Amino acid sequence: MSTLVGLVVVSHSRLLGEAAVALAREMAPGELAIEVAAGLDETTFGTDAVAIAEAIGAADSGAGVVVLMDLGSAVLSAELALDLLDDPDARDRVQLCPAPLVEGLVVAAVTAAGGAAREEVAAEAAAALGGKQAQLGAPVDVGAADAGEAGGGVTAEFTVANPHGLHARPAARLASLVRGLDGAQVRVRNATTGSDWIPAASLAGLTALGALAGHRVEVGVTGPAAQAAVEAVLGLASRHFDEPVAGPSAPRPAAPASTQGPLAAAPGIGIGPKRGAEPAAPVVPDEPATDPAAERERLDAALPAVAAEIRVARDTTARELGEEEAAIFDAHLLLLDDPALLSDARSAVAGGASAPRAWSDAAERVAAAWEAVPDPYLAARAADVRAVASQVLRALVGGPDLVPVDDGGEEQQVLVATDLTPARPPRSIRSGWRVSSSPAAADRAQRDPAAGPGGPGRRGGRPGRARRAGRHPDRLRRRHRRAGGRSGSRRAGGLPRPRGRTGGAGGAGAGACRGPGRHPGRVGVLVGANVGSPADAVAATAAGADLVGLLRTEFLFLGRTAAPDVDEQEAAYREVAAALGGRRVTLRTLDVGGDKPLPYLPLPAEANPFLGLRGIRLAEAHPGLLADQLLAAVRVAHETPLSVMFPMVAALDELIAARRALDTAIAAEGRGVPPGLQVGIMVEVPATALKAAAFVPHVDFFSIGTNDLTQYALAAERGNPSVAALADPLDPGVLRLVDAVCRAAGERALVAVCGEAAADPLAAELLVGLGVRELSTAPPAVPGTKQAVRELDAGRAADRAAAALTADGPGAVRRI
């Protein structure tokens, strides 16, 4: 019964047929059989009944076939193809569908992939024009299959599981999903509060529902594709609107302010003139409206201009901070296009208001509605609305730019703001703020996007979120690599180790710094960079990094509907390697978990994703994903020094399995063991630190993710202001874990640190004193870290470290 109805696409054009299938596959990935019988060859238009008959045979696995055709002879040929089928039973299982080809195919694919019978698939497809017709105001043909539900529509209900309810991002996901649905009008209401029904395409309306975690939301859908729409909405809801949920990191907006005072966003002290970042709100001029048509035109011209600005900010953010961070801009874009907001503003214009006045009032009504929501987190989203509203007003009436980008230059300034909204393009902060050592709250993210707080562009004012570690206590960074060429030799039984052949260069020491030329400091400490994109890699090289100590490969996997294939990964890694110009790249294999589900990698909902299926555990559950990544890594490793690092390793078996997968990839590539390939693990799990000796025979390096190790060791999340002070990497308990790793590694494996602590000069000294020989930080922090390393005295560092291990707390450690 799991057999799906097959589909056959008949078109005059092979390109058209194949493109239509590609489009449909996006909506219905998986095993659905879709055969194409189109064109006489690649370039000759025409249809071929024999080919159609063969396609029908290929698509039919017993549940029958629905055939979709373009025009003219496609229909005749398809009919003739039925005559050509030898088996009358097979013929009876074929349904020729009168649907328009593209729309019909997409609906048919979605319906068939859902397991529907062929009659239903054909009927749904035949009604596929409904959405377009409704949109364009044409009479809607309701397909026969839908007649029953066309009247009352389909209803369903889901419970909001997102910790902050349906706030801007999940609401934006829902609104964009609904807007993309053809043939369905979706409305929702908050059943818990008994709200009115609002169109789900309206982001403003959705957010104003005040749907909090645990609230029940009722969904009502009419239209020919109602059933599919309901399923799509419920599917999205069950994925928590693609938002991380729960986990130790869920920020608690209502949490009491930390008793420790503000959290440092970056190490160091900065002194500089105060720079107020609050943009002067543009004033709505008290001007009379010109005529409504002109005002309408003015408004309509401003919106796309602002949308373009936001898209630029979005792209910049996506590039620098990642897709997840950039998603908030999608919400802003949706606001610009919000049907409720726009129609409110436009009707005010029609009634004689000026464009700025109409827009400002309409936006303020939306902001006020959000503010009225009881949840403080949601209420704070009003700031998003006002920020976007200001941007539009600015476009309408002019006004000061968000943050003066004029002066500043290299001068350090202290940014003071109550709210850093994403509407402020990161570049304006970037250009005006020096990031190397300023403690200004906003700049930390630029130094280490994955670790920092909101980051410039992002939702600044979010309480509790100042350190964005919140959402994923950044499982961090790090890498490994051993100095010079010690390699090969030791190694006990077990798996063959690829590394080995490294440079026989030279045993020892040789200054530990394989990096061309940089002085790592007297004790021979490499300073690497944590990067999350090829652009970061360029920045890393510019900052003088000796290597990439952590390449977060998630950038290739997030925000898309299918995993990158081997070639794409290879190209991306190659790009990173090229930016490093021959310096080592430490590639961490995919490190995601239930907090960041990928559309193509369904993960069970977990109560606590940070203690769940993630990192190497996830890779074991999806061996194909790991195999592809390792193959891409091996290919690149044949040309550039590359280290492979497995994240979240808690058990030796996990490492051994991962190394087998690596051996398989090496064998598959068939060129032998890449000469510069090294293998290591992240140490984030306290148990792993304590049993590091067991791993030593199987690794070239350990890379300690101090952020996660600290959080796991102290059971305190850095994003939670109530307990963040506990999560101090200088806690003697954490330092003892680092010490355990260094002692187990001895001379046999390199120990690196890729957490934020690496960028803190005091921590760096202690880490080096314990035996860490590589520090990897965000690219902007590289020069400072190098300087710190150069200045430290090995003997003194070792003494301090020894004292720190027996201190009674982080405060005492700092006083040593």
Partner 1 sequence: MAGAGIDAAALDRWIRAFAAAITEHEAELTRLDSAIGDADHGANMTRGLKAVVAKLDDGAATGPGALLKQTGMTLVSTVGGASGPLYGTFFLRMATAVGDTDTLDGAAFAAALRAGVEGVVARGKAEAGDKTMYDALAPAVDALDAALGGEDAAGALSAAAAAAAAGRDATTPMQARKGRASYLGERSVGHQDPGATSAALLVQAAADTLG
Output 84 or 405, the one with its CB closest to partner 1: 84
Q: Which is nearer to partner 1, 72 or 672 (CB)?
A: 72
Q: How far is the CB of 83 from partner 1 (least distance, A)?
A: 8
526 membership: H or E segment, kind and range: strand 526-531
**Distance of closest approach, residue 127 Cβ to partner 1, in angstroms:** 24
* Smallest separation, CB 281 to partner 1 (Å): 58
Neighbours of 145 (CB within 10 A): 21
Nearer to partner 1, 76 or 308 (CB): 76
Tell the smallest beta-carbon distance from residue 145 to partner 1 (Å): 25
Query: Cβ closer to partner 1: 50 or 280?
Result: 50
Of 98, 10, 96, the residue nearest 55 (C-alpha): 10
CB of 128 to partner 1, least distance (A): 22
Sort 274 into a burial class: Cβ within 10 Å, 0-12 / 13-18 / 19+. exposed
* For partner 1, the closer CB: 84 or 812: 84
Work out the angle between the directed axes of helices 794-805 and 761-770 (0-180°, nearest 10): 90
Cα–Cα nearest to 619, from 606, 603, 607: 603
Q: Rounded to whole angstroms, what are the CA distances from 372 to 218, 250, 254, 369, 636?
A: 21, 23, 16, 5, 54
Q: What strands lie across the sheet with 65-69, from one edge to the other?
A: 34-38, 6-11, 65-69, 94-97
Cβ 56 to partner 1 shortest distance, Å: 14
Output the smallest distance, CB 86 to partner 1, in A. Answer: 13
In the complex with partner 1, which residue's Cβ is closer, 77 or 391?
77
Separation between Cα atoms, residue 726 and residue 732, nearest integer Å: 12
Closest to partner 1 by CB, 47 or 776: 47
Burial of 653 per CB tally in 10 Å (0-12, 13-18, 19+): exposed
Shortest approach of partner 1 to residue 49 CB, angstroms? 4
Q: At closest approach, how far in Å is the CB of 238 from partner 1?
A: 46
Q: Six-digit token pair at 333?
A: 């874009």
Instruction: Catalogue the E-assigned strands of 5-55.
Output: 6-11, 34-38
Q: Name the minimum Å distance from CB 89 to partner 1.
A: 21
Rounded (5°) CA angle 645-648-649: 80
Separation of alpha carbons 600 and 27, rounded Å? 12
Residue 427: both structure tokens together: 């570049």
* Min dist. Cβ of residue 217 to partner 1 (A): 48
- In 708-755, beta strands by DSSP E: 750-753
Our CB check for partner 1 shows the closer of 53 and 245 to be: 53
The rounded distance, in Å, linking the Cα atoms of 690 and 617 is 19
Q: How far is the CB of 55 from partner 1 (least distance, A)?
A: 13
Write out the residues near partner 1 by the rule CB under 8 A: 12, 40, 44-51, 72-73, 76-77, 79-80, 83-84
- Cβ-based nearer residue to partner 1, 88 or 151: 88
Instruction: Say if residues 795 and 746 touch (Cβ distance below 8 Å).
Output: no
Residues 78, 81, 87, CA angle at the centre, nearest 5°? 135
Decide if 503 contacts 765 (C-beta within 8 A). no
- Can you list the alpha helix ranges (DSSP code H) found in 337-425? 339-350, 355-371, 376-380, 382-397
3-state secondary structure of 194: coil
Q: Which is nearer to partner 1, 52 or 451 (CB)?
A: 52
> Which tokens belong to 458?
């992002």
Spatial contact of 263 and 257, defined as CB atoms under 8 Å apart: no
What residues form DSSP beta bridges with 704? 683, 753
What's the length of the chain?
816
Q: Residue 58 or 794: which CB sits closer to partner 1?
A: 58
Which is closer to partner 1, CB of 73 or CB of 258?
A: 73
